[in-house]
Amino acid sequence: MLAQDDKHAHSEIWREVGATYFAAGMHQEAREALERYIERRAFDPEGLYYLGRALKELGHPTESQEMFTRCIEAVKTMPYYRRAQVRRWRKLAQEQLSSLPNNSASLATS
């Protein structure tokens, strides 16, 4: 596990660790790292997207839907000069939302 001072400014390490765990198929470990990251950066679209994916893989569709919805909202509320950099996460989150069973939220967020 990563040894880091909790007050250290570079919380993005947890997002990268979570994304790496997710890519390796280690979904529970990804969830733990990404939840830790989201506690510090609640409006980061990339972190929210990866947490949503981990939750989806772990069989938590309601929680994953919430993370994808939060991801989309985070992109929508970004300053205009940042939206181009993060719009990819909105598109990916919308795709994931539409693949969830019984999902009416995807229609509302499009």
**Is the pLDDT reported for residue 2 higher than 70?**
no
- The whole-model pTM stands at 0.84
Per-residue confidence (pLDDT) for residue 102, from 0 to 100:
72
CA distances from 49 to 8, 62, 82 (A): 23, 14, 17
The residues near 74 (Cβ < 8 Å, ≥ 6 apart) are 43, 44, 45, 48, 86, 89
pLDDT beyond 90 at 38? yes
Residue 4 predicted with pLDDT over 70:
no
Token pair 């990916």 in the structure block, residue: 92
Q: Which CATH number fits domain 12-109: 3.40.640.10, 1.25.40.10, 3.30.450.40, 1.10.520.10?
A: 1.25.40.10
pLDDT at 81: 92
Q: What is the pLDDT of residues 59-96, one digit of tens each?
A: 999 999 999 999 999 999 999 999 899 999 999 999 99
Enumerate the domain spans of the chain. Answer: 12-109
Compute CA distances 95 → 36, 61, 71, whole Å: 25, 14, 12
